[in-house]
Chain A
């Protein structure tokens, strides 16, 4: 059984560098979500894809952030010109039904910006 996987699990970068994270959802899931979680907080919604279409974006997703899901399978989240405030756990989740369903989360990518 392959759940949601994320790569890398940890990323340390210097301020100003670009970083890219990958998420591979559960294979039959057409819905994919990105969240950010900072220390002591719950996850905050960033963006949502249905297949390859990005249908919803949070205002948290500044112009330095971009997410793609080119073929409706895996997704990438890129942060350009990283800032120390970007340090967080970035969580990906997927689901197969639109409503009343659980979202299956990946293990997350922990980003540290020095």
Chain B
């Protein structure tokens, strides 16, 4: 089974609108971390936001928020007030088990912001 599933290969959003990028994960661990990264066309991976499995509140970082629904094993990224510079690939990722460093990435969602 896929550890990280991103079912939206591509998304369009109007500038200044909000957009939700979906991510579901599969783990039997109680302790894990969830990440979102942005990869512009330049290729560099840029960290956006982190959510720990024991965190009770949804993580927020500026215009980014992570809608964490533990029972449904989903960790959707919400980008508010989209900007043209948000056009990029977005990857959801998970680290399982404290003490292990392996991070598993999804296949990504390509977001295009329309002026």
Q: Which residues of A contact B (CB under 8 A)?
A: 31, 33, 40-45, 48, 55-56, 58, 89, 91, 93, 98-108, 110
Contact = CB atoms under 8 A, between A and B. Distances in A.
Interface residues on B, range: 20 to 34
Contact of B105 (A31, A40, A42, A98): A42
Interface in B16-75: 33, 35, 37, 42-47, 50, 52
B103 interface: yes
B80 interface: no
B43 A104 contact: no
Contacts of B45: 43, 91, 93, 105
A102 B91 contact: no
A105 B42 CA distance: 12
B103 A45 contact: yes
